[in-house]
Amino acid sequence: MSDFEASTPLARDGRAPNVFREGGWTPMRQYSETEEVDFAIVGTGAGGGTLAARLAEKGFSVVAFDAGPFFRPLEDFASDEESQSKLYWLDERIVDGADPLVMGGNNSGKCVGGSTVHFAMVSLRFRPEHFKARTLLGYGADWPVDWREMWGYYDQVERALSISGPLSYPWGPARPAYPYRPHPMNACAQAMAVGCEHMGMKWAPMPLATVSAPRGESPPCVQRGFCRFGCSTNAKQSALVVWIPRALKAGAEVRDLAMVGRVELGSGGQVTGLHYHREGAWRFQKAKNVVVAGYAIETPRLLLNSACPDAPDGLANSSGLVGKYLMTQPNQGVFGRTKEESRWYKGPPILCVSEHWNYCDDKNFPGGYTLMSQGPMPQEWVNIQVGARKLWGSDLRHAMLDYNHMVGMKVVGEGLPSVHNSVTLADEVDQYGLRIPRITYSWTEGDKALIAHSMDQMQGCLEGANATDIFRQEQDTNHLNGTARMGDDPRTSVVNPDGRTWDHPNLWVCDGSTFPTTGGVNPSLTIQAMALRTADRIEALAARGEL
């Protein structure tokens, strides 16, 4: 545990940090632990933060818990890759399988706002057919929701986050123009555009969750590129900056540095509340409903750790599928050198997109992928040099001298769901005395074919942009999904289309874990769209007395 985590919570005594003011506070409603709140939400990221805001706005009493601290970006975030590791979930985990996942900064956050506080802001919609991949494309699984309904929620999220993106999007059915104009493309993004044209693919400026003009208390993005280490200006439209202030304003309570260890199952299959650790002690919050939104590792871990005599295999696990079908996304990169200076670290790291291979079905692998430009920060770049290229000593020094001349691309691919990829419990325990997760992962043959295809395409692009000394970063992953999949059938899924667990009518899941497939795009927009849908469904069910 870092020193920071050991410090005391900030959201208490009727107030919470105001993220827009150094040293500022905002009033916060508080609930007593014996009061049975309508919703206790575990996690405040893309899923939990969004849901907390919407449920509070609909008049429900809400307490949202997060294991991580409540930051004020203006004063807490430094332009320092190392010190910003305080945003990551770095608690102990065991990884295995043929392709063990690297856990940490690249895939999990631990703070109010969740992983969106240090995410790369790429905000893409699923291709409509990807919601019915099994039926229409013959792989993966179907989502139990209609794409048109999801696209309606995408509209809402894009407006809520003022996504800055192109006026017309080259792929898929027509969509409204993005609320804010696109950001300028840096030299690296322009090189990718040239490469795409060379390869006969369309490209577009990337739709991003950082504002290109002032919005409320957010200033426009200053293009300095520290996004993946926490945006210190609040231009980034993270859950911390968008949904949490809305939740607080609508009367929700946020409890920071509050690790939920167990959800309590009462009689009749209903849950009664949750046990959480805060300020050195275990406490219990009563709740009419519990929503788990801890992301694809911590959500199944909490459900499994909540096993009790009435649910010996863990909560919501009658199908045996809690923790199964863990998916990550291939995130390989290809890099090259250009004659002109590129200064690719300028601006948000990802500024150009091609969804060509999401929308083209003439290919020799299942699934789709998105290509994007990338500009790593210096320390990340050293890690790639040492890791992917095995450079050291004077070779490493020479490679680093080329930093300002590099261009690069990466893939975000549709990792396939496999029942063998999973989150289970190890026997070891963490600092709270909770059993830690064991994360097992192996690429499927389909994944390997997709990765090989994407790397050839990226190499072709960079060659087309006249880059030289091209090399590949063969191993990298990001984003996690699955592990509490949604479906129509209680035997083959953990939650129903509303995120309600089949086994316990007042236990819900609202985060990336419910994805039956990952689609070929980054997940956060879909997670938030789904959270908006869940909030609407809960409101409708409550109105009918079916909650």
Ligand X SMILES: Cc1cc2nc3c(=O)[nH]c(=O)nc-3n(C[C@H](O)[C@H](O)[C@H](O)COP(=O)(O)OP(=O)(O)OC[C@H]3O[C@@H](n4cnc5c(N)ncnc54)[C@H](O)[C@@H]3O)c2cc1C
Binding site for ligand X (CB under 6 A): 42-48, 65-68, 105-111, 114-116, 118-122, 228, 259-260, 293-295, 298, 302, 478-479, 511-512, 522-525, 527
Residue 331 in the binding site for another protein (CB under 8 A):
no
Residue 298 CB, nearest approach to ligand X (Å): 3
DSSP string, 355-422: -HHHH---SSSSS-EEEEE----HHHHHHHHHHTS---HHHHHHHHHTGGGEEEEEEEE-PPP-TTSE
Q: Distance between CA 88 and CA 111 in Å, rounded?
A: 8
Is there binding between residue 221 and ligand SF4 (CB under 6 A)?
yes
Angle at alpha carbon of residue 308, lines to 306 and 311, rounded to 5°:
90
Among 30, 85, 223, 383, which residue interacts with ligand SF4 (rule: CB under 6 A)?
A: 223
Question: Which tokens belong to 78?
Answer: 């430094």
225 binds, among ligand SF4, another protein, ligand X, none (CB under 5 to 8 A by kind): ligand SF4
Checking 153-160 for CB contacts under 8 A at 24+ apart, the result is 153/529, 153/530, 153/532, 153/533, 154/125, 154/525, 154/526, 154/529, 156/529, 156/532, 157/50, 157/123, 157/525, 157/528, 157/529, 157/532, 158/123, 158/207, 158/525, 160/242, 160/243, 160/528
Binding-site partner at residue 210 among ligand SF4, ligand X, another protein, none, CB < 5 to 8 Å by type? ligand SF4
215 binds ligand SF4 (CB under 6 A): no
| Contact region with ligand SF4 (CB under 6 A), list: 220-228, 278-286, 362-370, 414-422 | 220-228
Binding site partner of 302, from another protein, ligand SF4, ligand X, none, Cβ cut-off 5-8 A by kind? ligand X
166 binds, among ligand SF4, ligand X, another protein, none (CB under 5 to 8 A by kind): another protein
**Smallest separation, CB 355 to another protein (Å):** 16
x-marked contacts with another protein along 161-190 as a string, rule CB under 8 A: -x---xx-----------xxxx-xx----x
What torsion do the CA atoms of 468, 469, 475, 478 make, to the nearest 10 degrees?
A: -40
- Binding string, 221-240, against another protein, x = CB under 8 A? -x----------x-x-----
Residue 295 contacts residue 108 (beta carbons within 8 Å): yes
Q: Which two tokens stand for residue 447?
A: 């994944």
Cα end-to-end distance, the chain, whole Å: 39
Least distance in angstroms from the C-beta of 205 to ligand SF4: 14
180 interface partner picked from another protein, ligand SF4, ligand X, none, CB below 5 to 8 A per type? another protein
Residue 463 engages another protein in binding (rule: CB under 8 A): no
Rule CB under 6 A: say whether 210 interacts with ligand SF4: yes
What whole-number distance in Å separates Cα of residue 82 and Cα of residue 466? 34
User: Which parts of this chain interact with ligand SF4 (CB under 6 A)?
Assistant: 210, 221-227, 231, 233, 235-236, 348
